[in-house]
């Protein structure tokens, strides 16, 4: 099997693909990557709507310019860097969903979608693929590289470089992801507005922020928006965590929220604010806490191609706001209105802030530098310090046996975690 850590290709045709949820500054990443290669005389193809068409390549016939991909030119990159949305669209199609171990790569049926993706890209005669997306897209990029590693020696190969994207900021291998700070500011502005609404009506708002796996967005929005309290998946520990038996035969258990204690902690905060003459406020929670609900609240909830529960169908903010209101009345004999609302979608295509445009631009250029200057394959582009570029090998980010990525949580008692505790309403434990 050839060593593909480095390549010797003269890259003349490159494909750029964006998958997963939108993020502010997506077009900064796409356009600067495309610009870098156009400046060198290469052809650049923007694959439209993620892997959705490539995964159907053979059955659906040849790729069609305009419908399935676009050819980038200098003209269609004018003023694109700070524009909103995703200029090549996106989708959540996961061609590697059936591959969960290296052995699966030898099964023709399990790798069939990856093969169709590979053949679709080969039909464009691309010399490299730039993948942009979240951790699930990183897993797909790694599987596509491994699929090529298993091809016969004389088969066509192209290097794969991945650029990390998520407004959740829960990516290993990079300090901050593009779009995070724009999303934080967008949600923080909503929270600031709600603070005044809450004060006017002596009420509470329970804001459910995006963040399936970690609480970066919830914490950032709560701190910048001056919320009264914030809780996320990282806080489901100690007294706020419990265990639930999921199999009487094996005794297997799962970690769940100690829901009553979580609710009581929020009511404790409300009572502390009342003692200070502030019978109002905002609470921010991360949507990923829904994964830790007791099983009775998850019955009938569907899961997606990546195994994630359909969080939007649970409406965690509505559930918890009702429980908070009921518990407040039980403890005080009084009524306090608690309004639950879900936030997040409005932040994904907000006008990107300068920081995110700068970071996104550097990552886009980093794809060019990784492929052309460093001649790398199977790396994720990262940036730190003064936007210094780093190239992190896939095998440092993806478990070699399970082929899954590691989520980067907010560390308990880190200075960032403690910042929120310092600034929110103090609750005596």
Cβ neighbour number for residue 135 with a 10 Å cutoff:
24
Q: Which of 143, 159, 153, 149 minimizes the C-alpha distance to 111?
A: 143
Q: Identify whether the C-beta of residue 366 lies closer than 8 Å to the C-beta of residue 163.
A: yes
- Residue with structure tokens 């300068």? 354
Return the domain boundaries, the chain: 13-177+352-396, 181-349+411-423
Helices (H) and strands (E) in the chain, counts: 10, 13
Cβ neighbour number for residue 373 with a 10 Å cutoff:
10
Question: Would you state the pLDDT for residue 334?
Answer: 95
The C-alpha atoms of residue 372 and residue 15 are separated, in whole angstroms, by 14
Q: Which fold has domain 13-177+352-396?
A: Rossmann fold (3.40.50)
Question: Would you state the pLDDT for residue 2?
Answer: 39
Question: Would you state the pLDDT for residue 4?
Answer: 47
Q: Do domains 13-177+352-396 and 181-349+411-423 have the same CATH topology?
A: yes
Angle at 173 between CA 22 and CA 370, to 5 degrees: 85
Question: Would you state the pLDDT for residue 82?
Answer: 95
The structural architecture, per CATH, of the domain 181-349+411-423 is 3-Layer(aba) Sandwich (3.40)
Q: Helices in 276-401 by DSSP H: which ranges?
A: 316-332, 354-368
- Residue with structure tokens 């005794």? 251
Distances (CA, A) of 230 to 39, 169, 284, 422: 47, 17, 5, 11
The C-alpha atoms of residue 145 and residue 114 are separated, in whole angstroms, by 10
Burial class (CB in 10 A: 0-12, 13-18, 19+), 278: middle
Q: At what angle do helices 354-368 and 180-201 cross, to 10 degrees?
A: 160
Along the chain (429 residues), what's the average pLDDT of each consecutive run of 10 residues? 62 96 96 96 96 88 92 95 96 92 92 95 96 94 95 94 95 94 97 97 95 92 97 94 82 89 96 95 94 85 68 85 97 96 91 97 98 96 96 94 90 91 76
Q: What is the pTM assigned to this prediction?
A: 0.91
């Amino acid at each position: 099997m050839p060593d593909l850590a480095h390549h010797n290709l003269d890259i003349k045709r490159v494909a750029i693909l964006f998958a997963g949820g939108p993020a502010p500054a997506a077009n900064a990443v796409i356009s600067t990557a495309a610009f870098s290669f156009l400046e060198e005389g290469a052809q650049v193809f923007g694959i439209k709507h993620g892997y959705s068409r490539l995964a159907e390549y053979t059955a659906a016939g040849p790729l069609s310019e305009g419908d399935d991909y676009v050819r980038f030119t200098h003209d269609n990159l004018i003023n694109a860097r700070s524009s909103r949305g995703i200029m090549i669209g996106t989708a959540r199609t996961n061609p590697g969903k059936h591959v969960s171990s290296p052995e699966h790569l030898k099964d023709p049926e399990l790798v069939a979608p990856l093969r169709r993706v590979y053949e679709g890209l080969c039909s464009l005669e691309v010399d490299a693929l730039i993948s942009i997306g979240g951790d699930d897209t990183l897993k797909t990029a790694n599987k596509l590289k491994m699929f090529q590693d298993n091809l016969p020696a004389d088969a066509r190969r192209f290097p794969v470089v991945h650029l990390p994207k998520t407004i959740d900021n829960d990516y290993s291998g990079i300090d901050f992801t593009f779009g995070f700070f724009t999303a934080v500011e967008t949600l923080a502005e909503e929270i600031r507005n709600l603070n005044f609404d809450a004060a006017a009506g002596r009420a509470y708002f329970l804001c459910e922020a995006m963040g399936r796996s970690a609480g970066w967005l919830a914490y950032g929005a709560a701190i910048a928006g001056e919320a009264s309290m914030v809780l996320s998946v990282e806080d489901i520990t100690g007294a706020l965590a419990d265990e639930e038996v999921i199999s009487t035969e094996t005794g297997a258990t799962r970690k769940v929220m100690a829901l009553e204690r979580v609710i009581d902690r929020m009511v404790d905060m409300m009572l502390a604010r009342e003692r200070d003459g502030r019978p109002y406020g905002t609470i921010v929670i991360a949507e990923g806490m829904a994964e830790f609900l007791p099983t009775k609240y998850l019955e009938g909830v569907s899961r997606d191609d990546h195994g994630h529960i359909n969080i939007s169908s649970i409406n965690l903010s509505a559930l918890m706001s009702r429980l908070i209101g009921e518990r407040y009345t039980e403890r005080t004999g009084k009524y306090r209105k608690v309004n639950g609302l879900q936030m997040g979608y409005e932040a994904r295509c907000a006008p990107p802030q300068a920081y995110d445009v700068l970071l996104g631009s550097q990552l886009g250029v980093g794809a060019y530098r990784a492929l052309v200057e460093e001649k790398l394959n199977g790396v994720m582009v990262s940036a730190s310090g003064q936007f210094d570029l780093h190239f992190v090998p896939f095998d440092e980010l993806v478990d070699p046996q399970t082929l899954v990525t590691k989520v980067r949580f907010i560390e308990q008692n880190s200075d960032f975690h403690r910042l929120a505790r310092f600034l929110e309403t103090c609750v005596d434990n």
